[in-house]
Amino acid sequence: MRRSFTFIAVLVIVAATIAGGLSAKSARRRSASNSNSTATSPADKYEADRIENDYREAIATVEDRYAGEVDYEKATQAAIQGMLFTLDPHSVYFPAPEFKKLKEDQASSFYGIGVQIVRHDDGVYIQSVVEGTPASRAGLRYGDRIVEVDGKDARDWSSDQVSKNVRGARGESVLLKVERAGQEAAVQFKIVRDAVPLPSIRNAFMLSPGTGYIGLVGGFQHTTDDELRDSISGLKREGMRQLVLDLRNNPGGLLDQAVKVCEKFLPRNQLVVSTEGRDAKQKAEYRATGRDRHPSVPIVILVNYGSASASEIVAGCLQDATSLGVCKAIVVGEQTFGKGSVQSILPLQDGSALRLTTAKYYTPSHKVIHEKGITPDIVVPMSDEEEENINLRRVPGGIDSLDVKLQDRVRNARDVQLDRAMDLLKGISLYTKRTPAGEKRVAKGDKVAAATK
């Protein structure tokens, strides 16, 4: 066991080197940024050897002096997790059994019931129910608290634990017990798992003559590009000339779909986003193809703290493109989440693996997204109550799950961010109509000023 621990401890040193966990080494890399060489310098090797020796000495001391039994495997895993914790919350260590299961899960087909869940302080709640799914047909609602899954107490489970236990083979049933507001006794549902469509766009409609709304709130999936194309085409048939693109609480998803969303409003070859890692090999640029382009459509993009990852790529890209005069977008709402990093799975020799942040996203103007987020052009804060009202109105069954007084409050609540978006688009429309044809190309700052007069 001691030999096994020493072997894995060496892997920890290698992992630290890969992660750039050695601060002195990182500083030296920055000072040598003009060099293309990635060879390990003698100083770097000395530093890695020194830390490896420190590990060996520490474990030898523990083995010789610790009063109890040493679980070397547990100690190793804690050492690696502790190292990754100092890097960022997205870098994770998978022990060999967990990594094996991860690979099996990725290769398997799982089916569910059609709900989105979220963990609160007192348990896991249903955040939304997808129409036309087993959960919708069974009668699950927004706000139901999941207390049991197949007879197992789920009160203290994380949302991941609930998700893993709810998913399973197609055609097999899962037994859920939920607590529901207004009912004393828990309600039990037997639901048969099936394929679950998870559309990115939950609604698209005309807000007013000439102004369309697209709620791209369901993440960036394989179908996002097609859904957006169809939604824009449908709204244009109804007379849309300007658009509100709602990305609030969109957690992100596939990078290629974020790029395809952006390129609908950008000229060919315009930079959408770039990724940069430790060295030149990990740098990449993603540019618009110019297909399905709608350059004349003014857009207001709604964002908030729940807008993350791919949502931030879209908001940051179109914001920068507008400052260059190649797009007509204004970002409205609140500071976004700040998840702008690329994670890679790196297998280790003992069968375990690291999920490591290997690159970060940058907007076209080279603003870093990670841990900073996107700052809206116009900040419109919302209170917790206002945000809850909007969320309840947006999810199927959200209002019906409330008592009568709360239903009236939610129905009558104003969406102050959407109201501001409408005001801006009205201002842009009026400004455009009054501007001579030869002067209609307006800078971003001028648009905002005109819209807010």
| Residues carrying an active site annotation | 309, 320, 339
In whole angstroms, give the CA distance from residue 426 to residue 43.
62
Map tokens 């618009």 to a residue: 288
- Distant-in-sequence, close-in-space partners of 225: CB < 8 Å, separation ≥ 6: 257, 260, 261
Structural contact between residues 193 and 167, judged by C-beta atoms closer than 8 angstroms: yes
Task: Give the pair of three-digit tokens for residue 117.
Answer: 């869940």
In whole angstroms, give the CA distance from residue 223 to residue 244.
20
Structural contact between residues 142 and 396, judged by C-beta atoms closer than 8 angstroms: yes
- Distant-in-sequence, close-in-space partners of 192: CB < 8 Å, separation ≥ 6: 134, 171, 172, 173
Three-state DSSP at 12 gives helix
Task: Give the pair of three-digit tokens for residue 247.
Answer: 């990305």
Map tokens 């022990």 to a residue: 95
Structural contact between residues 286 and 342, judged by C-beta atoms closer than 8 angstroms: no
User: Helices then strands (H, E): number in the chain?
Assistant: 14, 17
Q: Which amino acid is it at 65? A: R
Structural contact between residues 204 and 214, judged by C-beta atoms closer than 8 angstroms: yes
Q: Which amino acid is it at 162? A: V
Name which of 310, 295, 293 is nearest 247 in CA terms.
Answer: 310
Q: How many residues does the chain have?
A: 453
| C-beta neighbour count of 284 within 10 angstroms | 13
Q: To 10 degrees, the CA torsion angle through 17, 20, 23, 26?
A: 110
In whole angstroms, give the CA distance from residue 44 to residue 51.
11
Written as one string, the DSSP assignment of 49-88 is HHHHHHHHHHHHHHHHH-SS---HHHHHHHHHHHHHHTT-
According to DSSP, the β-strands at 187-192 and 92-94 are unpaired
Residue 210, class by beta-carbon neighbours within 10 Å (0-12 exposed, 13-18 middle, 19+ buried)?
middle
Which run of H or E residues covers position 116?
A: strand 115-120
Structural contact between residues 237 and 259, judged by C-beta atoms closer than 8 angstroms: no
Map tokens 């998700």 to a residue: 163
